[in-house]
Every structure is written in structure tokens, then in C-alpha cells.
């Protein structure tokens, strides 16, 4: 699936709109249920789980509150 930057939508919203069923729970960035692997691109993190170092590495993201910072974002769903 392709997802481009959107300032008003989370990645979870875009994934659901595309018909992909993914796990989520709190939808506030606290629980980690929606954590997915980032294969390519740069996420814009808004969760309260990942450390600064984990965010810098950009290997995973919580899609319930985060967005896409780069022109392309590839996730391991």
C-alpha cells in the first residue's frame, strides 16, 4: 500500500481506509499494540512509548498517533 504525507491523518487512519485490518487498542500512543516495523521512509512520531534513540533509528512506529514525514513510507504490516 502507498501512503503519502497527510497533516490531518494518522497512518492508522490511512491503513484502515485502504481496507487493511491492523491491531490497535488505546489509539493514543500509550499501549504499543499498533507498533509496526518501518521498512522505508521517515515516520513522524507522536507516541509516548519509544525512546529518543528508538525514534531516531526509525525502525518501528506506533501508527495510531504517528504520521509520515517523508514522501514515502513502507511498513511491514
2 found inside a domain: no
Annotate 52-69 with b (16+ C-beta within 10 A) or e (fewer).
eeebeebebbbbbbbbbe
d(CA 8, CA 13) in angstroms, rounded, equals 10
6 found inside a domain: no
CB 60 within 8 A of CB 35: yes
Site of grid cell 499494540: 33
Residue 5 has pLDDT above 70, yes or no: no
pLDDT number for residue 9: 87
Range of the domain at 16: 11-76
d(CA 70, CA 49) in angstroms, rounded, equals 21
CATH at residue 20: 3.10.20.30
Residue 34's pLDDT band (cuts 50, 70, 90) = very high
Residue 2's pLDDT band (cuts 50, 70, 90) = low
Our count of domains for the chain comes to 1
Mean pLDDT of the chain: 90
Amino acid at each position: 500500500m502507498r501512503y503519502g504525507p497527510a497533516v490531518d491523518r494518522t497512518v492508522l487512519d490511512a491503513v484502515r481506509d485502504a481496507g487493511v485490518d491492523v491491531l490497535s487498542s488505546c489509539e493514543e500512543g500509550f499501549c504499543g499494540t499498533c507498533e509496526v516495523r518501518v521498512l522505508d521512509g521517515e515516520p513522524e512520531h507522536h507516541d509516548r512509548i519509544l525512546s529518543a534513540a528508538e525514534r531516531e533509528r526509525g525502525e518501528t512506529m506506533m501508527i495510531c498517533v504517528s504520521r509520515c514525514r517523508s514522501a514515502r513510507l513502507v511498513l511491514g504490516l
